[in-house]
Structure formats: structure tokens, C-alpha cells
């Protein structure tokens, strides 16, 4: 489908069931401000400052397209609830959580480059975690097969001990830990955000119960908050050796390249692992128009990856699938790519 095309009506996979979308307006209270791109800095010589890429507008359009778009009849909406501090400690260290709590009490701070905790941000972060956990619990309890946690702030860069890349708390990582604690023997995470899902990988780097797979732009480390390179030789450690699969892709890989990577690398890895729960970590910043990525994916590519993941869930996890929102910074096209993913992924 051309990049400018409209969303398609749901094909048979989507029509066979309901997508349970978990969302709460309170996550809009995370105000990332304005400046030069993601710095929050006004240099004093520009007439027009831009919104931080991770702003509320992007998520409003995602909510809107799911409420008004062609698959809206197949969506069931659910509210989220804030997470409690003890729940965060299944993935994050107490010292790190205390650091965030104190920063919130002090009125906020720039936690790391591009990642600012402003008044309202901590409450939104707790709500993002709680909403994701609610989505996972919905699936684990058998109330629905497919749940989508439409959340912000994003989370997949947040490591057990530090924030990174617009992320404070690792929403997907905490949901994976909930699945493990609830009796799931093996969980796979498939991360298609344009950036390496380093925080999730770090959290399970020594575990053989979680297979973390990340398809990402070959960007390498971007500093102290993101020491991981996302290269093929980062395979895990100890019992987790061989359970971290990094698939760094060259700029401009596009639809055919991503689908090839999915069919030739991701599918065989999952066939060997045989998970009983699948988590799709989705970012639309791999799209052709995204300001934070250069991967040239279109709606067609997202639609096909959604189809592949849905078929994997049907085969290995009894259809159980949790989808967790991450990046995606083109305010309009990100929403279209999300819709495309869910057309066959739901």
C-alpha cells in the first residue's frame, strides 16, 4: 500500500476476535515541553520552537484512529489504573525508583538526555505501568486473547537501574515479569521499535525464560544512559546466553527487509523457543516519515509484521498476545501504521 493510503477494513484475522485496548487520559499529563527537537532548550535565536517528539499529540491520534477508523467495531476499550511502588520492584531497583520519587517531589528534572520528568510525568508513568499490567492480566486471566496497552511515557529503554531514551519505567518488562510470576514458563518479546529495546534486554539478560528479540536501526550506543550497542554479539549472559537476539538493520531497510528478517530470523527463533506468551513491543518510529528513524517502513510492512506475529501467537501461545506501545513520532502517520499493525495483528 502506498504511504498516503487510508487504513483498510479489517481482514479475517481481525474480524475473528476483539482487540482489548487499555488506555487512560491521565497519561496525557506527561508534558515534555518545547525546545530544539528533544533537548527542551530554547537557544534564544529561533522564532519557532518545536514540541518534544514524545508529546501528547501523537498518542491522541492513536486513540482517535482506533475509535473512528475501520477496525473500531472490533475494539473493546478498558481503563488503566496506576501501578504501586512495590510492583515496580519486580524489574527496577529500589534505589532507582527512590531517585524518581525524589525527583518528582522536587518538581522534576532532566533525568538523562531528552528524558525529562516534569510535574505530572511521574503520575503518567505509574499509570502507563499499571495500564500495561492490567492488559497483561486481562490476557492471563482468560478474559481476552489480544490486549494492546496504549501507553506513554514509553518504556523499553528503561533499565533496572536507570532511565533512557524518553523512558522512566519499563512497561513491557514489568508485564513480562508479571507473566512469569503468574506461571508462564517462557515468554518472548518481539520489539520492532526503530531503536534497540536495550532496557528490556538488560532486565532479562541472564534469564533463559525470556527470549528478547529486537529489530532496530543499527545506531549503536548513544551514551552513558544507553551503553548497549544492539549488535549481534550481545547474546545474553549465564543462563541467558543465547536468549537475546539482536537484529540491527541498515538505514532504509524498508518493508521487504523487515519481513525477510521476521521470516528468516524471528520465526525460526520462536519455533525453537516455543513460548507460551508473546509480547509485541511496537514503535512506529521505523516508518518512512518518522523524525527519529530512517527505516522506510510503510503501512504494508507493519500490516505484514502484525500478521506474522498473530500467526505465531495462534501457533505457540494459544492466541495470547500482549502489544505494548513505544515510539512513533510522526503525529499522523504513526497512527496509520498502528492501525495497519492491528488490522492483521488483532
Q: Which three cell numbers stand for residue 40?
A: 527542551
- Nearest one of 263, 228, 260, 224 to 244, comparing CA atoms: 228
- Residue spans of beta strands (DSSP E) within 119-196: 146-149, 187-191
Rounded CA-CA distance 173/155 in Å is 8
Rounded CA-CA distance 325/53 in Å is 15
CB 162 within 8 A of CB 225: yes
Residue bearing cell 479489517? 10
CB 172 within 8 A of CB 155: yes
CB 20 within 8 A of CB 144: yes
Residue positions annotated with a catalytic role: 157
Burial of 233 (C-beta count, 10 Å sphere; 0-12/13-18/19+): exposed
Amino acid at each position: 500500500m502506498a504511504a498516503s493510503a487510508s487504513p483498510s477494513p479489517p481482514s479475517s484475522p481481525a474480524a475473528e476476535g476483539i482487540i482489548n485496548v487499555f488506555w487512560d487520559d491521565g497519561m496525557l499529563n506527561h508534558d515534555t515541553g518545547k525546545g530544539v527537537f528533544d533537548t527542551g532548550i530554547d537557544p534564544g535565536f529561533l522564532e519557532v520552537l518545536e514540541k518534544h517528539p514524545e508529546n501528547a499529540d501523537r498518542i491522541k491520534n492513536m486513540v482517535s484512529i482506533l475509535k473512528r477508523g475501520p477496525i473500531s467495531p472490533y475494539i473493546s476499550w478498558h481503563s488503566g489504573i496506576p501501578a504501586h511502588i512495590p510492583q515496580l520492584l519486580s524489574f527496577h531497583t529500589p534505589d532507582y525508583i527512590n531517585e524518581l520519587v525524589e525527583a518528582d517531589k522536587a518538581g522534576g528534572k532532566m533525568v538523562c538526555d531528552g528524558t525529562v520528568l516534569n510535574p505530572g510525568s511521574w503520575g503518567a508513568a505509574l499509570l502507563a505501568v499499571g495500564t500495561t499490567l492490567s492488559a497483561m492480566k486481562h490476557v492471563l486471566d482468560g478474559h481476552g486473547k489480544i490486549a494492546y496497552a496504549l501507553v506513554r511515557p514509553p518504556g523499553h529503554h528503561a533499565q533496572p537501574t536507570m532511565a533512557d531514551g524518553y523512558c522512566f519505567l519499563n512497561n513491557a518488562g514489568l508485564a513480562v515479569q508479571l507473566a512469569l510470576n503468574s506461571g508462564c514458563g517462557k515468554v518472548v518479546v518481539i520489539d520492532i521499535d526503530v531503536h534497540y529495546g536495550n532496557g528490556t534486554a538488560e532486565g532479562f539478560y541472564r534469564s533463559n525464560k525470556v527470549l528478547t528479540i529486537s529489530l532496530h536501526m543499527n545506531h549503536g550506543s548513544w551514551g552513558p544512559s544507553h551503553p548497549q550497542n544492539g549488535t549481534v554479539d550481545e547474546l545474553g549472559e549465564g543462563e541467558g546466553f543465547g536468549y537475546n537476539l539482536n537484529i540491527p538493520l541498515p538505514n532504509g531497510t524498508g518493508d521487504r527487509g523487515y519481513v525477510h528478517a521476521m521470516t528468516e530470523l524471528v520465526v525460526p527463533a520462536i519455533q525453537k523457543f516455543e513460548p507460551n506468551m508473546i509480547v509485541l513491543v511496537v514503535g512506529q518510529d521505523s516508518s518512512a516519515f518518522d523524525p527519529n528513524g530512517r527505516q522506510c517502513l510503510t503501512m504494508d510492512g507493519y500490516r505484514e509484521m502484525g500478521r506474522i506475529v498473530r500467526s505465531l501467537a495462534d501457533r505457540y501461545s494459544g492466541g495470547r498476545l500482549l502489544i505494548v506501545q513505544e515510539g512513533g513520532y510522526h503525529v499522523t502517520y504513526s497512527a496509520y501504521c498502528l492501525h495497519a499493525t492491528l488490522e492483521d495483528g488483532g
